[in-house]
Amino acid sequence: MPLIVMCGYPCCGKTRRAEELKEYFEQNCDRKVFIVGDGALDVDRNTVYADSQKEKNVRASLKAEVERKVNKDDIVILDSLNYIKGKSCQQYCSKSHAAPSLLMKVYCLTSDEVSSSWNTNRYAAEQYTRDIFDALVLRFEAPDSRNRWDSPLFTILKDDTLPYEAISDALFKRKAPPPNQSTQSQPLSSANFLYELDKITQDVLMAIFNAQKTSVPGDVISVPGVTRTINMAELRKLRRQFISYTKTHPTENTGHISNMFVQYLNKSLH
């Protein structure tokens, strides 16, 4: 059940790479190739990614479409943002649990400056707004080949030629990993907790950024007691640290996550 998952910042070249892979496999192997992506859903990306419920519905639609297409013979390429590690893990677990599967990831690595430039060069109707683009970059969690659900991982720079043969070998000459505890279906409460943890911490950061846009020097914004401007990189680092800690020390009440994160930011920034 070969499945290729594209990932990277918005406007980092995922769709171009997916099309290149499709052309290669159609010319070099006797298999059908399907690309499943946001474009097929005919939705406005800025509207979707500004609303967590709409975004969740789109992710569910993409997952359902992948599950309809995937089989033991055809190649499916998921061309979407795929920026949440929990989603990648979920894809891995569902595939590994259901049947022997061949899942790999292609990471289109660009800087946010390059991706932003490519975004502004698109037709207006296809562009992300500045706020949505920044939010998606902030939320992106880079894949790590040390994770089972991110391996095998091919990291591609913007001027690289795709390593077609290596990708093909990874799909068809690698034994599917045996299921173990990390690839078994997890309780629904666990999946919900990871989703809420990601969403709530992101909402806190976006509240801070939105407040900074209209604040003046001396204002106290969002994080009580912090009067200085906080840059995106600093907050992203603190958010990753908080999420890593909270995953190993989950709270039974997700309503406490926001307060816990704010307290963590207060302590870290003072």
Average pLDDT over residues 138-142: 86
Is pLDDT larger for residue 85 or for residue 212?
Answer: 212
Are the beta carbons of 75 and 34 closer than 8 angstroms? yes
Instruction: Please return the burial class of 168, using the count of CB atoms within 10 Å of its CB with bins 0-12, 13-18 and 19+.
Output: middle
Other Cβ atoms within 10 Å of 93 Cβ, number: 19
What is the distance between the alpha carbons of residues 158 and 114, in angstroms, rounded to a whole number?
A: 9
Assigned token pair, 114: 């390059």
What is the CATH code of the structural domain delimited by 2-183? 3.40.50.300
Give how far the C-alpha of residue 144 lies from the chain's centroid of Cα atoms, to the nearest Å: 12
Are the beta carbons of 87 and 16 closer than 8 angstroms? no
Tracing tokens 């609303």 back to the chain, one arrives at 51
Assigned token pair, 131: 């706020």
Of the candidates 134, 45, 139, 10, which has an alpha carbon nearest to the alpha carbon of residue 86? 139
Assigned token pair, 47: 């509207």
Mean pLDDT (the chain, rounded): 78
The CA distances from residue 242 to 17, 84, 170, 200, 237, in Å, are 33, 15, 34, 12, 9
Is pLDDT larger for residue 78 or for residue 199?
Answer: 78
Domain ranges in the chain are 2-183, 188-269
Assigned token pair, 231: 């840059």
Q: How confident is the model at residue 270 (pLDDT cuts 50, 70, 90)?
A: low
- Please tell me the predicted confidence (pLDDT) of residue 176: 54
Write out pLDDT tens, residues 106-129: 999 998 899 999 999 998 888 999
